[in-house]
């Protein structure tokens, strides 16, 4: 098997965590006999600096021609107040590749409950999947921006809701079989449409249990009862907010990876954290979320489940063994942690052979 992977390191800690992910992909490629080739392209703030735009045409063309795209992170104070923001490149890329489904798995690993700021008994067994709609809603509606008045428009169509709901129900089938659809149907028209469409899609999945929860109540319930959730299905902005909240339940925003998938083209795989300008360039970033995203790239992007499992097992083992990065209370650097995961991948693969 051979695959072309486009790396978009981006800004801040993006290049540091991208290097970490690449190291692990190279290790698993060598171990499993996958021929992975890598290319890098400017994106985000780095795209603005190099080409005057956050998503240069050449970067988009390379993304379309690749088998999977890996993104570090974009944004930072250097580009605040500019004509165009680095984040616009990310939204443009998601839209251009049709990546409507964003999967954000959150798992509190057995024995690692103490990473969480919550008491161990509260988070034990938490294993949830946030399925976030990624190309609609407030992010992409008509926008007006004036000095005295501004507006953002939230639009959802039946088709947009229906296709993301199907993704959530399919995912639930391979898990604990429960979907919680999160909306604000007591206020928003888009949420009432959302709820009705999700009910319709649910008819095709009688084996999956569905409930609906208002987003404010869900945000509250996630803290005392994270283990009660299985699949959380929600719209773009709610999913953005709830996934940062869920990440910290597992211990750190630096732990979570994500997969953004569409209708068959290359997927985009990225940690959920941002460019962390406060720790950029200091080798302090936790690369676990990026490494977890590399595993998702193998599983969902390249259909290489065994290689994905090798990465996940090695990452989990290194999180148990330590030393950890500073966000988890340790003193390891980003590169050293990634180096240990990569070495363990090679060792585990050799043992299994
Ligand atoms: P952030 O996620 O960058 O940082 C929030 C906090 O978490 C900071 O204290 C940071 O140091 C810490 N943190 C984040 N990732 C970490 C990691 N891997 N290891 C250890 N600590 C980590 O969020 P922010 O500060 O709100 O945003 C900074 C910039 O990143 C903004 O420009 C924002 O738009 C952008 N952003 C980009 C993405 C993306 O590229 N996908 C995602 C979120 C935010
Ligand atoms: C994320 C980020 C992005 C989002 C920003 C940078 C546009 O926060 O991937 O979670 O809001 O989707
Ligand atoms: Mn976010």
Shared fold status for 1-98+263-353 and 104-256: yes
Fold entry, domain 1-98+263-353: Isopropylmalate Dehydrogenase (3.40.718)
For 120, list phi and psi in degrees, rounded to 5.
-55, -40
pTM: 0.97
Residue 353 has pLDDT above 90, yes or no: no
Decide: 244 in ligand 2 pocket, CB within 6 A: no
Report the atom number in ligand 2 closest to the C-alpha of 74. Answer: 6
What pLDDT does 72 receive?
98
Q: pLDDT class for 44, splitting at 50, 70, 90?
A: very high
For 122, list phi and psi in degrees, rounded to 5.
-75, -35
Decide: 293 in ligand 1 pocket, CB within 6 A: no
The tens digit of pLDDT for each residue in 164-175 reads: 999 999 999 999
- Give the residue whose CA is nearest to atom 11 of ligand 2: 240
Fold entry, domain 104-256: Isopropylmalate Dehydrogenase (3.40.718)
Decide: 45 in ligand 1 pocket, CB within 6 A: no
Decide: 275 in ligand 1 pocket, CB within 6 A: yes
Mean pLDDT, residues 219-230: 97
Question: For all residues of the chain together, what is the average pLDDT?
Answer: 97
Residue 9 has pLDDT above 90, yes or no: yes
Decide: 87 in ligand 2 pocket, CB within 6 A: yes
What pLDDT does 17 receive?
98
Q: pLDDT class for 7, splitting at 50, 70, 90?
A: very high
Residue with tokens 């390191």: 9
Domain locations in the chain? 1-98+263-353, 104-256
What's the 3-state SS for the chain? CEEEEEEEEECCCHHHHHHHHHHHHHHHHHHHCCEEEEEECCCCHHHHHHHCCCCCHHHHHHHHHCCEEEEEECCCHHHCCCCCCHHHHHHHHHHHCCCCEEEEEEECCCCCHHHCCCCHHHHCCCEEEEEEECCCHHHCCCEEECCCCEEECCCCCHHHHHHHHHHHHHHHHCCCCEEEEEECCCCCHHHHHHHHHHHHHHCCCCCCEEEEEEHHHHHHHHCCCHHHCCEEEECHHHHHHHHHHHHHHHCCHHHCEEEEECCCCCEEEEECCCCCCCCCCCCCCCCHHHHHHHHHHHHHHCCCHHHHHHHHHHHHHHHHHCCCCHHHCCCCCHHHHHHHHHHHHHHHHHHHC
Report the atom number in ligand 1 closest to the C-alpha of 44. Answer: 40
Mean pLDDT, residues 303-308: 97
Ligand nearest to the CA of 255: 1
Residue 101 has pLDDT above 80, yes or no: yes
Give the C-alpha separation, 250 to 256, whole Å. 9
The tens digit of pLDDT for each residue in 237-259 reads: 999 999 999 999 999 999 999 99
The tens digit of pLDDT for each residue in 246-302 reads: 999 999 999 999 999 997 899 999 999 999 999 999 999 999 999 999 999 999 999
What pLDDT does 328 receive?
95
Q: pLDDT class for 352, splitting at 50, 70, 90?
A: confident
- Give the residue whose CA is nearest to atom 32 of ligand 1: 75
Ligand 2 centroid to 237 CA: how many Å?
9
Decide: 311 in ligand 2 pocket, CB within 6 A: no
Mean pLDDT, residues 328-339: 97
Ligand 1 centroid to 80 CA: how many Å?
15
Active site positions, annotated: 139, 184, 216, 240, 244
Residue 48 has pLDDT above 90, yes or no: yes
Residue 6 has pLDDT above 80, yes or no: yes
Decide: 99 in ligand 2 pocket, CB within 6 A: no
Percent of the chain with pLDDT over 90: 97
Q: Ligand 2 pocket test: pick from 13, 76, 90, 138 the residue with the most ligand atoms within 8 Å of its Cβ.
A: 90
The tens digit of pLDDT for each residue in 170-198 reads: 999 999 999 999 999 999 999 999 999 99
What pLDDT does 264 receive?
87
Residue 93 has pLDDT above 90, yes or no: yes
What pLDDT does 351 receive?
87
What pLDDT does 263 receive?
77
What pLDDT does 278 receive?
98
Ligand 2 centroid to 120 CA: how many Å?
29
């Amino acid at each position: 098997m051979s695959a072309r992977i486009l790396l978009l390191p981006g800004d801040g800690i993006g290049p540091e965590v991208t290097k970490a992910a690449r190291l692990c992909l190279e290790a698993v490629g060598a171990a499993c006999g996958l021929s992975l080739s890598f290319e890098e392209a400017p994106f985000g703030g780095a795209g603005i600096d190099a080409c005057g735009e956050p998503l240069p045409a050449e970067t988009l063309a390379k993304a379309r021609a690749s088998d999977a795209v890996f993104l570090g992170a974009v944004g930072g104070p250097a580009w605040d107040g500019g004509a165009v923001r680095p984040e616009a490149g990310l939204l443009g890329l998601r839209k251009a590749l049709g990546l409507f489904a964003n999967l954000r798995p959150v798992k509190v690993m057995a024995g690692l409950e103490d990473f969480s700021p919550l008491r161990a008994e509260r988070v034990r067994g938490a294993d949830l999947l946030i399925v976030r709609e990624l190309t609609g809603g407030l992010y992409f509606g008509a926008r007006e921006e004036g000095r005295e008045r501004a507006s953002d428009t939230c639009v959802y169509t039946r088709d947009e809701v229906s296709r993301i709901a199907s993704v959530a129900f399919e995912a639930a089938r391979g898990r604990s079989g429960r979907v919680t659809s999160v909306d604000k149907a007591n206020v928003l028209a888009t949420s009432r449409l959302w709820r009705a469409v999700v009910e319709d899609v649910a008819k095709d999945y009688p084996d999956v249990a569905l409930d609906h929860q208002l987003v404010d109540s869900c945000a509250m319930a996630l803290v005392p009862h994270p283990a009660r959730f299985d699949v959380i299905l929600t719209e773009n902005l709610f999913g953005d907010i709830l996934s940062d909240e869920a990440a910290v339940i597992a211990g750190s925003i630096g732990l979570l990876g994500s997969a953004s998938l569409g209708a068959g083209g290359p997927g985009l795989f990225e940690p959920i954290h941002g460019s962390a300008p406060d720790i950029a360039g200091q080798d302090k970033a936790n690369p676990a979320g990026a490494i977890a995203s590399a595993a998702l790239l193998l599983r969902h992007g390249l259909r290489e489940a065994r290689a994905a499992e090798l990465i996940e097992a090695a990452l989990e083992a290194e999180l148990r063994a330590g030393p950890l990065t500073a966000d988890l209370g340790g003193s390891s650097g980003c590169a050293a942690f990634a180096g240990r995961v990569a070495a363990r991948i090679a060792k585990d693969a050799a043992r299994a052979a």
